[in-house]
Structures are given as C-alpha cells and as structure tokens.
C-alpha cells in the first residue's frame, strides 16, 4: 500500500495533488473488490496502481536525495534517514491496527503474531496457502516494507536507464513463471513473494525516470488511460472464457503495469486548481490522504460486521440480506472512513510533521 512520500530537506519532492485522487479511486476499487467479490478482478486494479505508485515515489526519493548505497558523500546517514522516515510513516498506524485486530479477536493474529510484528505476513500467507482472517491484505504492506529495504541497493547497481529498469520489470514476470512452474508448482500465492511484484515497482521507477520526456507527456491523456485498462480487461476476459486462470495469475501484474503507469502519468500532469473550482476532486484528495488508514481497517470491519449479523439475526434469510453488498457498504463505509479519519488526525498527520523534520543532508 503506497503512502505519500514527499522528501524533506534542500531538495524536496513536489507534492502532486492529483495522485491523492488516484489513491482515493484505488482504495475504493480495493474495497469494492474485497467487500463484494465480483468475478472481474477489480481490486487488482487498485493494488497494482498502489505498487506502481510506490515504485514511482521511492525511486524519486532515492535518486533525488542520493540515498542509494555508495552514493557520493555521507550516503550511510542519508540511507538511515530514509529508512527512519519510511518506518515512521508506515509502522505506527499499522501496529495500532494490529492491536485493534487482536482485540476483535482475529485468529490469525493470535496464532502467528510475530509474522505481523516484523512484518513478513506475505511469507506467512505464502506458506499457509491462504489469506488470514481479516488481515490477508497486509501482504501488500509487508511487500512494500521489503521493497524499501531492497530498492536503495538495487538502484546502486542498476544504471539509470529505461532498458535496465525494463529488465527488472521483466524479472517479476520471470520470477512468477520460474517459481510457479519449476520451484514450487501449484503454489497458490506466488504473488505474495516480494520478487513477484518487481515488475510493478519497476514500472513506477520507469515513469519517475521518464516522466518529463516529450513522448511521455504526450501520453498524459485520459483516453490512453481508458485504452490501457480496457486492454487489460480484454486480456482477462479472453483468459477467463478459456478457463486459463493460472495464466492470468502469471500475466496480470505485468499486463497491468502499463495502464497503472498511464493512470499515474495522467494524474501527474493535471493542472492544480483551487478547491472552489472542483469540489469532487477535493473530496477525492481527502480520501486519498487517508487511504492508508482505510486500507489498514477495511478487511477487519467485515469480520466484525459478519459476527454481529450472525449474533443478531437467527435466520438464514435475514443473515443473507444483511450480509449483502448494499447493507454491508451502508454500515461499514462510515466506520472505515471514521477510523481512517481518526488515524490521520491523531497519528498519521502528527507523525508526518515529525518525519518531515528528519532532513536529508546534501551530498
């Protein structure tokens, strides 16, 4: 789950308000997919976009602040600041959510607490072969944390060229194929392993590297976003109709890199308007700023809601109605937005202010 990563110090990364709108749409797609379980993999559209966004932001920070291993000057101190800023932004809200989940209680948290505290829950889910109750989405957070550790080393040895980053992109597809067909045939959750997500992270890095190129700016139109996602959906439909689900699991992250990158590219080049001119955009920005809190709690709440429905309503008909998509959304959307608001006001925003005081030194 990507979070805002605006650099501090003498060379800050510019705030892009359009990306908050992308976060808002992305998190709502994730919620819609996880709460309603449609046939079409709508939640994957949101999760892929967040991974590409992580690659974009983290690569920008590493290059701009020169925090990669072996950078000129005191790179060790800058790298330490980078890790401290990342941990400050992501871990405290996550640990508070874990406490809430443990109080529910969620069985997976009680049975395997250390896998979440570290966090390496993606490894846990891979070995279990299934997602944990109410905490299955934390695999993406674990993958992000592992990406933060890896990427300053990877960019130290990779030339800053699109062709080299494209090789990293292809390595994600190659890893999924090699692991899923040779190393561990039939393993159901190969994507939960961090190397499986390298194509999406690399796509974000490629966008960060090339975003000011004229040919990239010419692609910053919504029609290309629509064409990209329609093409991705067409691939899904063709494979779904042919019952090629394993091939889809292998291809969809790599195929989704292009439409996700086109979406971010379009958002990056939108003009910034005052709030009075576009209230809908301001609402999306509000949701996008709090998307991390929404992400942390959105799968716990359905577990709580289901238990409440089973306790209150004795008949199967009543339970079936109240667990339907509309009643679920009616009750849970205000709750998840309220928890995200509280997380932002009392935890994330104060942590961000403290984090931004940790300035990178000039190289």
Domain ranges of the chain: 17-355
Give CA–CA dist 97/19, Å, rounded: 24
- For residue 187, the model assigns a pLDDT of 80
pLDDT at 186 over 50: yes
Lowest mean pLDDT among 140-144, 182-186, 210-214, 218-222: 182-186
Provide, rounded to the nearest whole percent, the portion of the chain with pLDDT above 70: 94
Instruction: Write down the H helix ranges in 158-197.
Output: 162-178
Give CA–CA dist 341/189, Å, rounded: 32
- For residue 281, the model assigns a pLDDT of 83
Give CA–CA dist 97/112, Å, rounded: 16
Mean pLDDT of 163-187: 93
- Of the pLDDT bands very low, low, confident and very high (cuts 50, 70, 90), residue 1 is low
- For residue 218, the model assigns a pLDDT of 96
Instruction: Name the average pLDDT for the chain.
Output: 92
Instruction: Write down the H helix ranges in the chain.
Output: 17-36, 42-65, 75-103, 107-111, 113-117, 121-128, 138-157, 162-178, 198-210, 214-218, 222-241, 245-268, 279-289, 291-297, 300-312, 316-322, 325-343, 349-355
Give CA–CA dist 305/332, Å, rounded: 8
Mean pLDDT of 300-308: 96
pLDDT at 259 over 50: yes
Burial (CB < 10 A; 0-12, 13-18, 19+), residue 229, is middle
pLDDT at 62 over 90: yes
- For residue 280, the model assigns a pLDDT of 80
**What are 3-61's pLDDT values in tens digits?**
444 333 333 456 677 899 999 999 999 999 999 999 999 999 999 999 999 999 999 99
- For residue 29, the model assigns a pLDDT of 97
- Of the pLDDT bands very low, low, confident and very high (cuts 50, 70, 90), residue 276 is low
- For residue 115, the model assigns a pLDDT of 98
CA nearest to 251, candidates 234, 264, 263, 268: 234
């Amino acid at each position: 789950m990507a979070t805002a990563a605006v650099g501090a110090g003498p060379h800050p990364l510019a705030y892009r308000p359009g990306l908050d709108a992308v976060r808002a749409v992305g998190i709502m797609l994730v919620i819609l997919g996880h709460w309603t379980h449609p046939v079409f993999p709508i939640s994957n559209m949101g999760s892929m976009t967040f991974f590409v966004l992580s690659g974009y932001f983290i690569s920008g920070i590493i290059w701009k602040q020169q925090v990669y291993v072996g950078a000129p000057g005191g790179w060790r101190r800058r790298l330490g600041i980078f890790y401290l800023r990342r941990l400050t932004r992501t871990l405290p809200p996550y640990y508070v959510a874990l406490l809430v989940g443990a109080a529910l209680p969620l069985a997976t948290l009680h049975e395997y607490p250390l896998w979440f505290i570290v966090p390496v829950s993606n490894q846990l889910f891979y070995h279990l072969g299934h997602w944990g109750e109410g905490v299955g989405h934390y695999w993406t957070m674990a993958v992000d944390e592992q990406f933060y550790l890896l990427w300053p080393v990877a960019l130290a040895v990779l030339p800053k060229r699109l062709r080299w980053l494209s090789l990293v992109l292809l390595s994600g597809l190659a890893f999924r194929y090699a692991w899923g067909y040779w190393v561990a045939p039939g393993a159901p959750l190969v994507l939960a392993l961090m190397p499986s997500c390298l194509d999406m992270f690399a796509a974000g890095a490629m966008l960060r590297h090339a975003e000011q190129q004229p040919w990239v700016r010419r692609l910053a139109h919504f029609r290309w976003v629509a064409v990209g996602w329609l093409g991705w959906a067409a691939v899904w439909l063709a494979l779904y109709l042919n019952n090629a689900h394993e091939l889809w699991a292998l291809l969809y992250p790599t195929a989704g890199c292009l439409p996700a990158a086109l979406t971010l590219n379009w958002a990056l080049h939108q003009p910034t308007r005052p709030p009075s001119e576009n209230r809908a955009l301001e609402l999306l920005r509000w949701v996008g700023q709090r998307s991390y809190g929404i992400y942390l709690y959105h799968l716990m709440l359905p577990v709580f809601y289901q238990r409440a429905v089973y306790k209150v309503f004795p008949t199967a008909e009543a339970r079936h109605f109240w667990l339907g998509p509309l009643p679920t959304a009616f009750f849970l959307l205000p709750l998840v937005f309220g928890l995200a608001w509280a997380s932002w006001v009392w935890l994330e925003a104060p942590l961000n202010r403290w984090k931004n005081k940790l300035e990178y030194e000039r190289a």
